[in-house]
Structure 1
Amino acid sequence: MTQTTVLVPSSKERLRAGARNGSPALLALVALVGIFILTVVLQPGVLSVPGLTLTLMSSVPLVFAAQAQMIIMSVGDIDLGVGYLVGLVTVIAARLLTEHPVLAVLAVLAVFAVYAVIAAVVQRRGVPSIIVTLGMSFVWLGIGLSLSPTPGGTTPGWLAALSQWRPSWIPAPVLFIVVATLLGWVLTRRAKFGTRIRALGSQAATLEKAGVSLVATRVLAYVLAAVMMVFAGLLLASQTWSGDINAASEFTLMTIAAVILGGGSFSGGRALPIGTTLGAITLGMITVLLSLINLPSSLQSAAQGAIVLAVLAGRIITERLAR
């Protein structure tokens, strides 16, 4: 009779396996749960449908913008114009969409065309995306200030109604967040072109040998990201009922942090929609938590940064243990 030896993986081996299978996104989830628990302790009303609605409402535009940044980062680039572009869309929605809808649509189409040109320049000329998008951020800012020097305007009724929609059975922001995540998943993980987009960030030479146009792939990625940013701007305008070019100025760095918190990489080749969403919600919840503890506004940015750095440090430690 032979004796079978059963090998039980050690705790360190299990940790390594977990890290390889997506622990970066798991760390974002753990951070989110911890912050949510603290928020509930401070404000138990958060557990109600109205409470969750108010708590998560501000995270909705950020989640859409983070999904856009994720697409850009999956090809190995970074968009430093996200914040001002989202703000510009709020201005277009408040200043043009009501009285000049055709002009508003043309303005949005022009944004898509500009992003296609940016992608072509980055791919063909080898200009770093961080330089081009930084320059474009000032262009978006200038256009926004020209259209609306001060915050104001009025969004269309149908757009304002989005933020007022309150289903009784589930918080409305949860549905919008799910839609954003599903869009990111379909575009980057389910669709065939999503594989090409991710390959562009990690195996561009192999992709080119397979006969795939690198220019067309990058253009597609940039345009899809621009579509998600337009959605983010429209949803932000629906919440504020007005246009403000500075309404989302902090989104640029927050979206990058959300992608990294969710398991993304600066080097490209990775697109984790669920992790990105968790990262974005975590950042949004940090803002809510800091407001509940009455932390002075002058210290909130520092505290938010410290929390993000702590989570990122946890990710780095976990990834090193996985090697």
Structure 2
Amino acid sequence: MTTAPAGQRSASFPTTTTRLRGSAINGSPALLALVTLAVIFAITASLQPGILSIPGLTLMLMSSVPLVLAAQAQMIIMSVGDIDLSVGYLVGLITVIAATLFIDAPLLAVVAIVGIIVVYGLLALVVQRRGVPSIIVTLGMSFVWLGIGLQIRPTPGGQTPDWLSVISTWRPTWFPAPVIFIVLATLAGWYITRRSRAGAQMRALGSQAATLEKAGVSLTRTRIIAYALAAVLMVAAGLLLASQTWSGDVNAASEYTLMTIAAVILGGGTFSGGRALPIGTTLGAVTLGLITVLLSLINLPSALQSAAQGLIVIAVLAGRIITERFVR
């Protein structure tokens, strides 16, 4: 790797990251996600006015909390120009670990979680050093996570520890608890990608890798950090999901893989990398969660809900494309 002189490093890299920060917010790409969320929420509230109460909002938004965390993780991966196709089964595996190993062997559970984060770092190494596409590596790992989860718990069940279950039972009377968790998840994604130096390097890796390398920054280390931080958020998503279901099921979040990708794109992200919009990603994730609630309220058969959700997402994304072209 070519290393630039010390003086050149301090001059070139800040310029690159400043340019990236500006390009990521020009045009307010999260605006469409906000409008879509408002429309879906208004329709849902008209069908079920009871959701306008604190208990109603709590029930409606609770399922979106782990999805928001998982979407923030996917956003980090996509900011470096990669896609993680193993998100769903990894989150499901964490629920299995939480409902089985945390009860029977807590130390083993901690070791397993640390091991998962280490494996993600190794995946980044393979992608960066060997040039293997991330979709291939993560698709393969999705079957690994599925197999491990089925080996630990072939059927859904188990029991989460008391310290984890208490999270989902926390119900403040003055504010919907899920909103607090959603804000915290968004702040975590915002700090990682928008405020930290590592986050600036991740976005530079996704859009201007050559410039980043000339600035003397290790591309391998940057990708490893991105994957490891994403793994931490996915672990948190799995733990929160387990706290809600009070059990473990490796298939509990199988739909998260495509939903997190859709949330990132709906929130203004791109497949090409270089962009990380935590607020937009959260809006996209909550919107997808509300669509599921809406489809349930109109008594749409479960067999058609996935198709209807997909059509709505396609329509929204098409609207984003049209809007961006009109603005330009």
What is the TM-score of this pair, normalised by structure 1?
Answer: 0.93
Report the Cα distance in structure 2 between the residues aligned to 1:203 and 1:29, rounded to whole angstroms: 29
Instruction: Choose from 148, 153, 173 the match for 1:148.
Output: 153
Q: Deviations over 1:250-293 (max 9, x none)?
A: 00000000000000000000000000000000000000000000
| 2:164 aligned partner | 159
Superposition pairs of residues 44-63 of structure 1, within 5 angstroms: 44-63=49-68
Report the Cα distance in structure 1 between the residues aligned to 2:98 and 2:193, rounded to whole angstroms: 28
Q: Deviations over 1:121-153 (max 9, x none)?
A: 000011000000000000000000000000011
Q: 1:210 offset after TM fit, Å?
A: 0.5
| 2:11 aligned partner | none
Report the Cα distance in structure 1 between the residues aligned to 2:29 and 2:217, rounded to whole angstroms: 31
| 1:133 aligned partner | 138
Change (3 A) 1:213 1:201: same
Superposition pairs of residues 108-119 of structure 1, within 5 angstroms: 108-119=113-124
| 1:260 aligned partner | 265
| 1:320 aligned partner | 325
Report the Cα distance in structure 2 between the residues aligned to 1:130 and 1:305, rounded to whole angstroms: 21
Instruction: Choose from 79, 82, 88 the match for 1:83.
Output: 88
Report the Cα distance in structure 2 between the residues aligned to 1:183 and 1:24, rounded to whole angstroms: 20
8 Å CA contact 1:20, 1:322 repeated in 2: no
Superposition pairs of residues 1-323 of structure 1, within 5 angstroms: 21-323=26-328
Q: 1:23 offset after TM fit, Å?
A: 3.6
Q: Name structure 2 gaps, 5 residues minimum.
A: 1-23
| 2:13 aligned partner | none
Report the Cα distance in structure 2 between the residues aligned to 1:221 and 1:307, rounded to whole angstroms: 31
Q: 1:22 offset after TM fit, Å?
A: 3.7
Name the % identity. Answer: 77
Q: 1:192 offset after TM fit, Å?
A: 1.0
- Aligned residue for 1:97, secondary structure, equals helix
- Aligned residue for 2:30, secondary structure, equals helix
List 4+ stretches of structure 1 deviating above 3 A.
none
Q: Counterpart amino acid of 2:41?
A: F
Q: 1:20 offset after TM fit, Å?
A: 7.2
RMSD (CA atoms) = 1.0
Name the count of aligned residue pairs.
305
Report the Cα distance in structure 2 between the residues aligned to 1:22 and 1:297, rounded to whole angstroms: 37
Report the Cα distance in structure 1 between the residues aligned to 2:252 and 2:263, rounded to whole angstroms: 18
Q: Deviations over 1:6-39 (max 9, x none)?
A: xxxxxxxxxxxxx973443100010000000001
Q: Counterpart amino acid of 1:100?
A: A
- Aligned residue for 2:254, secondary structure, equals coil
- Aligned residue for 2:158, secondary structure, equals coil
Report the Cα distance in structure 2 between the residues aligned to 1:177 and 1:265, rounded to whole angstroms: 22
Q: Name structure 1 gaps, 5 residues minimum.
A: 1-18
What is the TM-score of this pair, normalised by structure 2?
Answer: 0.92
